[in-house]
Amino acid sequence: MSQDWMKADDPLQCITVTGSERNDMVVISGYSEGLHCIGVGTDAAVFTYEPAPGFAYKVYSDLALEKKAAERHVYERLEGIPYFPQYYGEGRNYLVISHEPGVTLQDCLLQGIPVPEQVIQDVEEARAEVRRRGLNPRDIHLKNVILQNERGKVLDVSEYVLEGDDKRWEHLVWAYRVCYSGFEGKKIPAWLLDAIKNGYARLDQANLSLDDFAQRISQLFSKFLK
């Protein structure tokens, strides 16, 4: 299986992923039968290829090609840790990793799928393992943690070579412990999640504590989820 990923090399050359200087989402152009886009970010898009199941192809824009080598390096250092995709190889502008089926934590909230405590524990252990490998586990959020067979798996390791702690995961764990029981299993509309995300992004500017922010969010939920 390890070399089957090369079947997608020619089809991937028919796809162009265009980045933006403004850090917008990449734009995809081109077509090749059997290729399916399963994710889009600001640096790259992720594809699967029907004749090579089990693989995912992260295709970088030309503006972000320098990040490909750094991410490959991270995956090589994380080899053997079960909480991350497996790395298989690379092409000119893409990395090949295992395709990990599952539902993101964001989709769990949108669809009302309960998130078990085990997922939180798995991500905590994943972060500890990353530190033991000399890397920095940051940029872990609702869209890059998936629920897979009632366990947690972490996607997107691109920022693990950067310094600093963005506190995103720590704050999510705090919200899980403090707030989640009040709406577990209920479908949260996308506009409400966006409102929370936007409010969180302006937390420092608004001079609010996490407790004050949580109280405001709880009031929003109580009005909508009666």
Do residues 120 and 151 make contact, with C-beta atoms less than 8 angstroms apart? no
Beta-bridged to residue 151, according to DSSP, are: 148
Beta-bridged to residue 30, according to DSSP, are: 15
Q: d(Cα 59, Cα 40) in Å, to the nearest integer?
A: 10
Q: d(Cα 67, Cα 97) in Å, to the nearest integer?
A: 16
Which helix (H) or strand (E) segment holds residue 169: the answer is helix 168-178
Alpha helix (H) ranges present in 78-167? Answer: 105-111, 117-132
Residues known to be catalytic:
139
What letter represents residue 98's amino acid? Answer: S
